[in-house]
Copies of this chain bind each other. A is one copy, B any other.
């Protein structure tokens, strides 16, 4: 393990400090909890507040998606571990505006437990109404949709929910639109090389030098198959087959394409991957409405990537078109 850090026990506090120092106009601490961070750029039209969060190690997620048109606050967990209910409650109390708070998080046991507990605490102790949308876009993680993990597709759910909140909708309507975004979104990932956990120095998974893992989760959860490494074209064909066989994306549909790097995979490769995704969509006469190519939700220095599609209706298009302003995620 080769990491440019100081003390492995302090990486979370130090990365938060380095982030806040870089972008003080976007985010601040709250006295309520050191793992609770609050956005500074709130659209005055916004009634409902958006709270995101999850484990650390996915930078710029989740901290980087607090900003205008996106989340109002973030609860920060340990590496690949859910935040506890206490910072979630702290963020909720600080950002709620009398109109309720929407929680958006991934479908992982720890996140489910902690966000649900925080929701109960804030409703009983603080009389703040909450709702939740739980990301489950990873088609490789289970045949049963309710058991699927949330991976990069959550970025598009944040963007949709943030826009709906900026439009001034109430909690139930923001939740409904964000849930629709989630329901229209499918992803699949590929692992090429592991990341290393700072405290243990252990790799997140094992692969031979010539192997890749199809369907790998973004904490290194096992995928569908380990194979020898294939070309970008062959790999994307397998991924798109799995995404398209869901039956959600049809001729003349408009979709968002998200090619997300996990950390160590080069931008050059992500662009080549996008070319292959596009060829398959064009062959099916599915229209790409917008593309996002980059490292949006990483797994530290893991090698690999995911491909995500989100099907758009008119409401979701208006949300995707809505401007956002986060330090490294801006649309004008």
Contacts and interface: CB of A to CB of B under 8 A. Distances in A.
Interface of A: 2-6, 11, 14-19, 21-23, 56-57, 59-60, 64, 190, 192-193, 195, 209-210, 212, 229, 231-233, 235, 257, 263-276, 278, 288, 291, 293-295, 298, 300-301, 303, 305, 323, 325, 327-328, 330-332
A17 B22 CA distance: 34
Contact of A4 (B210, B273, B325): B273
A269 B330 contact: no
A268 B193 contact: no
Contacts of A232: 4-6, 14
Q: How many copies does the complex hold?
A: 2
A308 to B, nearest CB: 14
Contact of A291 (B21, B293, B294, B305): B21
Contacts of A328: 293-294, 328
A96 B101 CA distance: 52
B231 A2 contact: no
Contact of A209 (B2, B210, B295): B2
Nearest to A305: B4
Contacts of A59: 266-268, 271
Contacts of A190: 4
A235 B267 CA distance: 26
Nearest to A328: B294
Closest 5 CB pairs of A and B: A18-B271, A59-B267, A18-B275, A330-B330, A264-B264
A2 B193 contact: yes
B17 A275 contact: yes
A265 B4 contact: yes
A324 to B, nearest CB: 10
A324 B64 CA distance: 20
Contacts of A267: 59-60, 64, 263, 295, 298
Given A23-B291, A293-B22, A3 B269 contact: yes
B278 A21 contact: yes
A301 B231 contact: no
Given A4-B265, A22-B257, A323-B332, 19 more contacts: A2-B210, A4-B192, A4-B305, A5-B232, A6-B231, A6-B233, A11-B272, A14-B271, A15-B271, A17-B271, A21-B274, A21-B275, A22-B271, A264-B264, A266-B301, A267-B295, A295-B295, A301-B303, A330-B331
